[in-house]
Structure 1
Amino acid sequence: METSMTTTMNTPDSPAPASVPEPRTASYLEEKAFKTRTLLVFGTVTDAMAADVTRRLIALDADGDQPIHLLVSSPGGHLESGDAIHDIVRFIAAPVNMIGTGWVGSAATHLYLAVPRARRYCLPNTRFLIHQPSGGAGGPATNIAIQAREMVKARERIAATIARETGKSLEAVLTDIEHDRWLSAEEAVDYGLVSRIIERKSELG
């Protein structure tokens, strides 16, 4: 995760982005995905991604109250961008099904936890990563002190969200996120991040 003062969540390097489809193909695929009420959160979480995803969530919410399916495969990224998606998911009226695939790490885990546990699914090979925010503080000593305090606040906020949504104690979560904590799909279910591992769309709900 990353805050506005360059706090980041340390994650392995992301794979190179796939080639961008031709405009006509992209438009067709977007239209089909919209009709099936399916959105993708793939790649690094950025402010541009958050703006795009939240705009689509609001549009789908206005279009009807049927469930929205949000597929997540992301190493994380900017903390406040993850916050924006997390909060809009909770803000809209339409229910959202979170479906983890590939890997769900850091800020992506935070936005994944925006829905009740019963609506949190993942595919069999999904891996999850939880850890504390980290980053480089710079500038005058007074600014460094301010940035350090904000990083501690972010750590406590992330831990509180994980504790609330998994049923773990805050103390246990703070210990767990002290270092990278990787979880397989089965381990994520045991931890309380995921309600159920699915293999087919028909298993949703």
Structure 2
Amino acid sequence: MTNKKKADTAYLDIAIPQNAENLQLPDPSLLQFYKNYENRIIWIDDEITTMTLEYAKMIMQWNFEDKQKNIPINERTKIKVVFFSPGGDLEVNNCLVDTISLSQTPVVGVNVGMAASSGCFIYLACHERLTLPSAEFLIHKGAGQFSGSYNDVVAAILNYQRQIDELGKFVLSRTNIPEDIFYENFENDWYLSAKEAIEYKVADRIIKSLDEII
């Protein structure tokens, strides 16, 4: 009887780890990120900062994988970039605009709420552009922040103006907005509804069913 009791105790000690109470489940947001990664879905749903550069790396990696496998462009799994962003860093914007524009693997942009400022410029770089019916767009010059000596500030302002001029040309090349209307509104905050975005070819079409993007 005593031996049986000892055997049961030993078995229980092995079957149930004493530190089981310290075990933690994976972070749900991290699990969702990897699910999205497997399906080539990127969410730009925050301010655009240097952290957003990770998305440029992902797009480059998927292009590399498709090229290594010799997958024809029209047979590649599309990359979907979902937007709900207030905008942000201009240099990061430029990197993503170039990366998406140069991507051989097709990139689909989906505005689910707001594509503002640099969020809108990045959206315009996508090869196919969809929008939810109530989503909005914001196009504007923004405001640069300058500091330092007089010469430093002058150089920074000139460089900022060059970047803004290039962005203006980029918007005109990706839409059918008349040049006079564009520059008249570009000076200020110019909000566009989904319907107006379709009229100006900022977006290609309004989504009527989630099946179109899922």
Give the TM-score taking structure 1 as reference length. 0.80
Match of 2:55 in 1: 53
The runs of at least 4 consecutive aligned structure 1 residues that moved more than 4 Å come to none
Match of 2:18 in 1: none
User: What does 1:142-157 align with in structure 2 at a 5 Å threshold?
Assistant: 142-157=151-166
More helix by share: 2
Match of 1:106 in 2: 117
Cα distance between partner residues in 1 of 2:105 and 2:28: 28
Which of these residues, 184, 189, 192, is aligned with residue 193 of structure 2?
184
Summarize the Cα distance change of 1:136–1:59 in structure 2 as closer, same or farther, 3 Å threshold: closer
Cα distance between partner residues in 1 of 2:168 and 2:116: 14
2:45 aligned with 1:36, yes or no?
A: no
8 Å contact from structure 1 (residues 159, 170) kept in 2: no
Cα distance between partner residues in 1 of 2:88 and 2:208: 27
Q: CA RMSD in A?
A: 1.8
Cα distance between partner residues in 2 of 1:175 and 1:134: 17
Which has the greater radius of gyration?
A: 2
Which of these residues, 137, 152, 156, is aligned with residue 128 of structure 1?
137
TM-superposed CA distance for 1:27, in Å, is 3.3
If asked which structure has higher relative contact order (CA below 8 Å, sep 6+), I would say 1
Cα distance between partner residues in 2 of 1:201 and 1:93: 25
Q: Deviations over 1:18-63 (max 9, x none)?
A: xxxx74423321222122221111110011112x111221233344
2:150 aligned with 1:161, yes or no?
A: no
Which of these residues, 69, 72, 76, is aligned with residue 83 of structure 2?
72
Summarize the Cα distance change of 1:201–1:60 in structure 2 as closer, same or farther, 3 Å threshold: farther
Q: Deviations over 1:55-96 (max 9, x none)?
A: 221233344421111101101000110111111112222101
Cα distance between partner residues in 1 of 2:145 and 2:35: 42
Q: Deviations over 1:112-154 (max 9, x none)?
A: 11124xx111111211000013123232222222222122212
Give the TM-score taking structure 2 as reference length. 0.77
Count of equivalent residues: 180
Cα distance between partner residues in 2 of 1:23 and 1:77: 30
Name stretches of at least 5 consecutive residues in structure 1 with no aligned partner.
1-21
Name stretches of at least 5 consecutive residues in structure 2 with no aligned partner.
1-24, 67-75
Range with bigger deviation, 167-176 or 188-197: 167-176
Supply the AA of the counterpart residue of 1:54: A
8 Å contact from structure 1 (residues 120, 195) kept in 2: yes
Identical-pair percentage = 23
Cα distance between partner residues in 1 of 2:212 and 2:145: 43
TM-superposed CA distance for 1:193, in Å, is 0.6
User: What does 1:89-100 align with in structure 2 at a 5 Å threshold?
Assistant: 89-100=100-111
